[in-house]
């Protein structure tokens, strides 16, 4: 069985190795790429709290001269945590579930005090900001990177499975692949994008490497 992993590098750390242990042939086929935007970070400077939902957001802040020291830093998952720590930041909060919803839940459970800065992508979902504002926080969002689609390699035939982690990746998926491969959706927004394109899919119960592995094991048992 062949699976194509289309998520950005660093997301779902350890998944490829675990899939290979299961006997799958793993292809890395990233369908999105990110590019830092020139951004004015001044609205974030008086925010004691900065929350990051991707390593690309960390890089975007650094490329625009942002300083991580002295702030309450939150990360959406291990890859983002590693990016912050590699840049010299001290991470105070890591979401147990690598999603905007998971970060919102973890943050509201911790209840730190202060304004919240959200350096993010140009296509970021509003769910994190909405949840925090509804809880009474002042939230300031700044786009620091943009997401662009990448082409599927022409020479690559449809694999058995394709893991998709964002609506942007769904947009870049060729119709032939969407119709011939079995698609795994990492989250409800990715599932919604697949529905819009008319592709059948399996929605993973959680946006995690563990959920991917358990779903594939279940597929094998039922086949």
* Residues 180 and 88 occupy one common structural domain: no
Q: What is the pLDDT of residues 86-135, one digit of tens each?
A: 999 999 999 987 788 889 999 999 999 999 999 999 988 899 999 999 99
* Residues 198 and 114 occupy one common structural domain: no
Query: Are 27 and 182 within 8 A, CB to CB?
Result: no
Written as six digits, the tokens of 50 are 């900065």
* Residues 70 and 139 occupy one common structural domain: yes
* Residues 172 and 203 occupy one common structural domain: yes
- Alpha-carbon span 170 to 59, nearest angstrom: 24
Share of the chain above pLDDT 70, in %: 99
* Residues 197 and 95 occupy one common structural domain: no
Q: Which of 133, 144, 132, 130 is nearest to 107 (CA)?
A: 132
Q: What is the pLDDT of residue 13?
A: 76
* Residues 71 and 108 occupy one common structural domain: yes
Q: Report the CATH number at residue 197.
A: 3.40.50.10090
* Residues 62 and 115 occupy one common structural domain: yes
* Residues 45 and 140 occupy one common structural domain: yes
Phi, psi of 51 (to 5 degrees): -115, 135
Q: What is the pLDDT of residue 77?
A: 82
CA 47 to chain centre: 23
Query: Are 110 and 96 within 8 A, CB to CB?
Result: no
Query: Are 177 and 158 within 8 A, CB to CB?
Result: yes
Q: What is the pLDDT of residues 53-86, one digit of tens each?
A: 999 999 999 999 999 999 999 998 888 999 999 9
Q: What are the E-state strand segments in the chain? A: 2-5, 25-28, 32-36, 49-52, 72-75, 91-94, 116-121, 139-149, 161-164, 182-185, 202-203
Q: What is the pLDDT of residues 172-189, one digit of tens each?
A: 999 999 999 999 998 888
* Residues 13 and 39 occupy one common structural domain: no
Domain boundary among 147, 181, 205: 147
Domain boundary among 147, 166, 183: 147
By three-state DSSP, how is residue 122 classified?
Answer: coil
* Residues 185 and 159 occupy one common structural domain: yes
Stated pTM of the model: 0.82
Domain boundary among 117, 147, 177: 147
- Alpha-carbon span 84 to 78, nearest angstrom: 10
Written as six digits, the tokens of 201 are 């899919």
Q: What is the pLDDT of residue 98?
A: 73
- Alpha-carbon span 14 to 6, nearest angstrom: 14
Query: What range defines the domain where residue 94 resides?
Result: 34-147
* Residues 135 and 162 occupy one common structural domain: no
- Alpha-carbon span 150 to 158, nearest angstrom: 16
* Residues 121 and 160 occupy one common structural domain: no
Largest CA distance in the chain: 56
> How many structural domains compose the chain?
2
């Amino acid at each position: 069985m062949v699976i194509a992993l289309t998520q950005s590098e660093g997301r779902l750390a350890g998944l490829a190795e675990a899939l290979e242990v299961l006997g799958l042939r793993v292809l890395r086929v990233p369908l999105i790429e990110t590019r830092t935007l020139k951004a004015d970070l001044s609205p974030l400077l008086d925010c004691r709290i900065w929350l990051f939902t991707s390593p690309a957001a960390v890089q975007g802040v650094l490329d625009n001269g942002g300083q991580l020291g002295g702030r309450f830093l939150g990360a959406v998952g291990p890859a983002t945590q590693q990016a912050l720590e590699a840049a010299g930041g001290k991470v105070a909060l890591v979401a147990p579930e690598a999603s905007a919803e998971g970060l919102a839940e973890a943050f509201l459970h911790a209840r730190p005090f202060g304004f919240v800065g959200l350096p993010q992508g140009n296509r970021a979902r509003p769910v994190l900001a909405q949840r925090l504002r509804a809880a009474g926080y002042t939230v300031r969002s700044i786009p620091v990177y943009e997401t662009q689609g990448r082409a599927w390699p022409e020479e690559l035939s449809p694999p058995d499975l394709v893991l998709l982690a964002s609506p942007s990746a769904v947009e870049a998926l060729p119709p032939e692949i969407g119709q011939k491969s079995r698609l795994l959706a990492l989250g409800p927004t990715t599932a919604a994008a697949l529905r819009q394109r008319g592709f059948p899919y399996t929605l993973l119960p959680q946006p995690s490497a563990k959920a991917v592995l358990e779903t594939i094991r279940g597929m094998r048992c039922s086949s």
